[in-house]
Amino acid sequence: MAMRRLKLVGWGYEDDEISDAERQMVTSRMHERFGGEFDVRKAPGADAVELHAPRLAVPVELSAYATDARQDRLLHTYGKSYPDYARQFLGDYRNAPDIVAYVRDEADIAAVYDHAAKVNAAVIPFGGGTSVCGGVEPVVGGAFNGAISLDLTRLDRIVEVDKTSRAARIQGGIRVPAMEDQLKSHGLTLRHFPQSMELATLGGMIATRSGGHFATLYTHIDDLVESLRTVTPSGVIESRRLPGSGAGPSPDRMMIGSEGALGIITEAWVRLQARPAFRAGTAVLFDDVYKAAEAVRVISQAWLFPANVRLLDAREASNNGFGDGRQSVVVLAFENADHPVDAWMDRALAITRDFGGSFDRDVAKSGSGHRAGAAEAWRNAFIRMPYYKKTIVEMGIITDTFETAITWERFPAFYRAIIAATEEACLKATGQKGSVSCRFTHSYPDGPAPYFSFQAKGRHGALAEQWLEIKSRALDAVIAHGGTVTHHHAVGRDHMPWYNRQRPDLFGSALQGAKDRLDPKGILNPGVLLPARN
């Protein structure tokens, strides 16, 4: 496992390419969606890429775990966002870090901080490297002499498991599959599965307020954190392990979502679940997307807490291979480790019926049959989606997503406005009609978290610019209509202009005041959440 090499361009490991059938499926979908010819290009391989000489030398005190080797620097230049791919296709690695430090423990992290302060380098924490918003790219402004990418994946141990309280102390650099494998032997699971789960690390998920498996209740990882241990340039912050507390503002809530700008999360006690023993799931069809949204609202307000209650609008459903392109779908599922969930499912289905939903009750009971199969197919496609991106970029297609949240009373107008703005932006940027769709990833009593996907046929060489034009107009609309710039993808560098418009200025000032105490030289992930020093 440890020897598996990550792809330079594309999702996952080098030994896990998409199958010919998958490539065929993706290609034909794009042909269906966009007419005409496609200018198919390949990304240059690592050997064909130009890379500047490192501006920093690896000092002897870091030499046991740090390197300036070409492949390591290339692999730590980008996350997995669309503009990351677009620039990889151009062979543009100008922002590569100068050193990659594969720290083994907290002492190594402190040593990297010390060295960075000494040579005036920025330090970029790098977990799974799955950021889709420029969170790990060393764009740090001109005030630094170089950048060190601090890779955390060697901090990969489960330190302690408490089966009684269902919690475990786990190192921040462990990837989700390794974590879940080990927890499984205790009959436990974190059961927090973002789309990036194959590569994502626990610390990275906490630092970015990741959104996981559960569509209601325990949506963000925030609520699964019992306590944190964080290493900052000023020292260690370790919070007490507590099921709940009212002793002042939560220390953990300042680190959760700090995106590597305040410190590095080296350990967390996280709240676990027993593995589910009872499940029920089905798909409910609606002719009217707003009626479907109403059903999701009422289910979300009924304290039923389904594991899944995801609305796919007609286009989104069709793009994911089910529905007829006119009907919206609500994927509905309950699960529990303790008891059968029929009473819960019965009530939720009754609510969908009140809003005109149609479903097959037998499917919901047994968890099998064609609609459950469709839901299952969607889930598989969801996990495989990141693998398809490279093929899509090869075809010169611009493809991206953005996710937000809005209260229910504003949802209908919001949905219409964001779809319209994004469609118009695709047309303006590419001269051709794009495809824009929406699903709910999570749902709360007071509002949904709508997740928008768009595709447009772009032009090789200009893909990053065309993407930026579309994304900017879309996010302008999100902010203007009251949404958040991100529900669970984080801020990174890409979302900063909109984050700044959304965040109360004075809270930004307070956050800077806190950072000045924890990171007095401003070396940690400069430009993320707070402006890089000049």
Task: Write each residue from 207 to 236 as x if it is in contact with a copy of itself (CB under 8 A), else as -, in one continuous string.
Answer: -xxxx-------xx-----x-----x-xxx
Which positions from 40 through 99 interact with a copy of itself, judged by CB under 8 A?
none
Task: Write each residue from 264 to 293 as x if it is in contact with a copy of itself (CB under 8 A), else as -, in one continuous string.
Answer: -------x--x-------------------
Which positions from 383 through 402 interact with a copy of itself, judged by CB under 8 A?
none
Q: Which is nearer to a copy of itself, 78 or 344 (CB)?
A: 344
Which positions from 291 through 350 interact with a copy of itself, judged by CB under 8 A?
297-298, 301-305, 336-339, 343-344, 347
Q: Which is nearer to a copy of itself, 142 or 243 (CB)?
A: 243
User: Smallest distance, Å, CB 409 to a copy of itself?
Assistant: 4
CA distances from 112 to 109, 129, 260, 533 (A): 5, 19, 14, 19
Which positions from 506 through 525 interact with a copy of itself, judged by CB under 8 A?
506-507, 509-518
- Binding residues for a copy of itself, total number by CB under 8 A: 95
Q: What residue has token string 């690695």?
A: 93
State which amino acid sits at residue 137.
E
By CB under 8 A, is residue 255 in contact with a copy of itself?
yes
Stretch that binds a copy of itself, among 58-66, 87-95, 403-411, 457-465 (CB under 8 A): 403-411
Stretch that binds a copy of itself, among 95-103, 318-326, 382-390, 447-455 (CB under 8 A): 447-455
Do residues 227 and 239 touch, judged by C-beta distance below 8 A? yes
Cβ neighbour number for residue 2 with a 10 Å cutoff: 7
Among 113, 355, 408, 452, binds a copy of itself (CB under 8 A): 408
Q: Which is nearer to a copy of itself, 73 or 489 (CB)?
A: 489
By CB under 8 A, is residue 418 in contact with a copy of itself?
no
By CB under 8 A, is residue 486 in contact with a copy of itself?
yes
Residues in the chain, total: 534
Q: How far apart are CA 326 and CA 289, in angstroms?
A: 9
User: Smallest distance, Å, CB 449 to a copy of itself?
Assistant: 6
Q: How far apart are CA 488 and CA 196, in angstroms?
A: 12
User: Smallest distance, Å, CB 233 to a copy of itself?
Assistant: 10
User: Smallest distance, Å, CB 435 to a copy of itself?
Assistant: 25
Do residues 275 and 184 touch, judged by C-beta distance below 8 A? yes
Residues 6+ apart with CB under 8 A from 263: 230, 231, 232, 233, 237, 255, 518, 519, 524
Which positions from 426 through 445 interact with a copy of itself, judged by CB under 8 A?
442, 444-445
Calculate Rg over the CA atoms of the chain. Answer: 23
Among 57, 69, 242, 383, binds a copy of itself (CB under 8 A): 242
Q: Which is nearer to a copy of itself, 80 or 209 (CB)?
A: 209
Across 69-120, where does the E strand assignment appear? 99-102
Q: How far apart are CA 311 and CA 330, in angstroms?
A: 4
For 291-333, the three-class secondary structure string (H helix, E strand, C coil) is HHHHHHHHHHHCCCCCCEEEEECHHHHHHCCCCCCCCEEEEEE
Which positions from 127 through 156 interact with a copy of itself, judged by CB under 8 A?
none
DSSP-assigned states of every residue in 242-259? -S---SSS-HHHHHTT-T
User: Smallest distance, Å, CB 81 to a copy of itself?
Assistant: 16
Using the 8-state DSSP alphabet, how is residue 463 labeled? H
Q: Which is nearer to a copy of itself, 49 or 529 (CB)?
A: 529
Tokens of 469: 């034009």
By CB under 8 A, is residue 166 in contact with a copy of itself?
yes
By CB under 8 A, is residue 115 in contact with a copy of itself?
no
Tokens of 470: 């579309």
CA distances from 118 to 110, 144, 146, 258 (A): 12, 11, 12, 24
